[in-house]
Amino acid sequence: MKKIVMFSFISMLMLVLVSACSSGGSQDERASEPSTGDVRETTASVNDLPGFLDAKSDDMKTLYTAVAKSQDLLESIPCYCGCGEFGHTSNYDCFINQNNEDGSLVWDDHATKCQACLDIAAESIVEFSNGKSVKDIRTMIDKKYQEGDYPEPTPTPDV
Ligand SMILES: [Zn+2]
Ligand SMILES: [Zn+2]
């Protein structure tokens, strides 16, 4: 039961993100610098969201929490927003800068301002919850974004 609820919730989230995406995405928006001025904030655990999300939508908060709980998956998925130039090595870095041994973590607000980052994370998490393998998701994301007019991907190690 719990899985079904989670699935339908994520599907809804996906729809919201996809519709947000179709209203934007011009060349100019993609070209604006993705990393300058990014805010970083530390909290005690993945269940403790950073203050920069306070004014954001519930969907955004849900996605950030889902990302924090999907580290293994998203560290294997590249980001195509151009953030590799700023030292990101995977889509995970667009949301979370660092995990500490005591369970605390440093969140990054980059993805709140970046549709490609949000779309890639949401799609990956949805497909993973559908049972798709990390390798298949990687292949799917690479194919989709290499066909589009996107910057170079982050240097994410092969799966
Ligand atoms: Zn980005
Ligand atoms: Zn990114």
> DSSP secondary structure string, 105-122?
EEEEGGGGG-HHHHHHHH
Read off the tokens for 31: 């070209």
Q: Among all ligands shown, which has an atom nearest to the Cα of 35?
A: 1
How much is the pLDDT for 13? 57
How much is the pLDDT for 113? 95
55 CA to centre of ligand 1 in angstroms: 19
How much is the pLDDT for 18? 47
How much is the pLDDT for 91? 98
87 CA to centre of ligand 2 in angstroms: 10
What is the C-alpha separation between 63 and 15, in angstroms, rounded? Answer: 13
What is the pTM (predicted TM-score) of this model?
A: 0.79
